[in-house]
Structure 1
């Protein structure tokens, strides 16, 4: 998003500003067969480092990948970013085996990503087995998943985010993977997810060589309301983080809005001749809370095994 410019509507600037959130700008996917690479995600500044047991692992290697994931989550974290895993579809034996294996890990992942979610059922199963500490992300990637998105995001499981699965959605609908052909699905996901107070994430850009294409897709997603994007290669992470973060000019502008509201005291104030009310001021406050401070290091959530105080 461009920084605030003279003549730009303050209301337009604040509407754009609301799309930012530091909860998760970027998720870096790493195949479970090379799980050790995920510790390098910290060097890329990815918000979440994810080990993938699903699409990046061939059927004949699922058991080996699962064993490597278990070994990975049997050791304490040595990175600042959160650790995650994408399991297989819970409608398959591999998905159930993945989930059961993770339940036995002494150092559970921060986040478990559940694919092909079409109702609250899979999230409730995962949440009940993993316990109340692990966060869940739902991949919405089928027509039924889109149609049932409102019910899915209302689940009581620890759902924190949804992510749009463009490739599988194209496969199941017969559309192209092009942005415009999937615009309705993306919009429906954002509306339902934001309405539930959760965080929508955009599908990865699969052509690692096409940085310009990824930038265009990420900017479109941000303008639509997405708060972040998945990455399939470390080189994509810095670009994604920049697009889904405010500029210094944005932060300075937010400071001015908050300072003006505090000095005015009436609940509405004039900024550059424009009347700015409570929704705009609250958006500025939220931006400053998330971005106008050094990023905290991840808490040492893995200092003790699960049976010594961690659910």
Structure 2
């Protein structure tokens, strides 16, 4: 599963913003029924979201974040979806602490269940990361809920403080063969900071990043897309590896082995999406 490069959140209580979010250029839009919606607005947001998801949206993937499955609102979200004609591309599950959370939801929804994207938001999920990623694979992925994780652990929101959970998510999702999306950069006015941190996120192994504002989409998409130079080198690596019959090759003095070829193949696959 290739992760979404950019995943833009929009409040479920703001249906006037749904179409604008879809047209933002983001790879995915997640309509939020959880934190972004006040308790008094939950029912109306749920109805508006499911109605919007009955329509086809070709510009990007469109899904929604339910309330935690440990809450009454979470049960209401699932039941309302099961009784609706909505066709979300994915469902995001907050505060996921085990793969069993996903297996139970998938069993309840049956064939109606789209790919699942669990959010890791607390230290209680850390021992179960491999289990969570395996349950999301192969069609879904795992996202870091950085704000909640920092609050639960007493950590700051800086790169160093959250490095351990980011690295753990990358390792678990790589082993499971599913996508990994990082938490959003919270200052929508600081594009330089967004770019600097997103480069580190990308280099660590994440395939994409969440956005809190449409203005962040272009930068994130660009940073998670291979450059022309990277694509050119990937094509040369693929050709050299093929010419060597799938064995070790030399390209401009550099050793090309299967792991190098596989990384090049991923870049070429990203180009086609």
Indicate the structure (1 or 2) with the bigger Cα radius of gyration: 1
Long gaps (5+) in structure 2: none
Q: Does residue 167 in structure 1 map to residue 144 in structure 2?
A: no
1:188 to 163, 168, 174: 168
Q: Which whole-Å CA distance do the structure 2 matches of 1:86 and 1:119 have between them?
A: 17
The aligned residue for residue 221 of structure 1 is: 201
- Would you say how many aligned residue pairs link Structure 1 and Structure 2? 272
Q: Identify, as 1 or 2, the structure richer in helix.
A: 2
Matched, 1:76 2:28: no
Using a 3 Å threshold, how does the CA distance of structure 1 residues 202 and 261 change in structure 2: closer, same or farther?
same
Looking at structure 2, the residues matched to 91 and 37 of structure 1 have their Cα atoms a distance apart, in angstroms, of 28
**Cα distance change of structure 1 residues 272 and 28 upon mapping to structure 2, 3 Å threshold:** same
Q: Structure 1: where are the runs of 5+ without partners?
A: 1-20, 296-311
Q: Is 1:256 the equivalent of 2:236?
A: yes
- Residue by residue over 1:264-297, the C-alpha shift from the partner in whole angstroms, topping out at 9 and shown as x without a partner, is 3362221111221222123222321231x3x4xx
1:127–1:157 Cα contact (<8 Å) kept:
no
The equivalent of 2:110 in structure 1 is 131
TM-score by length of 2: 0.93
Q: Tell me how far 1:121 sits from its aligned partner.
A: 2.5
Which of 72, 76, 88 is residue 109 of structure 1 equivalent to? 88
Q: Which residue of 1 aligns with 2:65?
A: 86
C-alpha distance in structure 2 between counterparts of 1:166 and 1:289, whole Å: 29
Q: Could you say if the C-alpha distance between residues 178 and 156 of structure 1 is closer, same or farther in structure 2, counting changes exceeding 3 Å?
A: closer
Task: Return the TM-score normalized by structure 1.
Answer: 0.82
Q: Pick from 184, 201, 205: which aligns with 2:185? A: 205
Q: Tell me: higher relative CO, structure 1 or 2? Use CA pairs within 8 A at least 6 residues apart.
A: 1
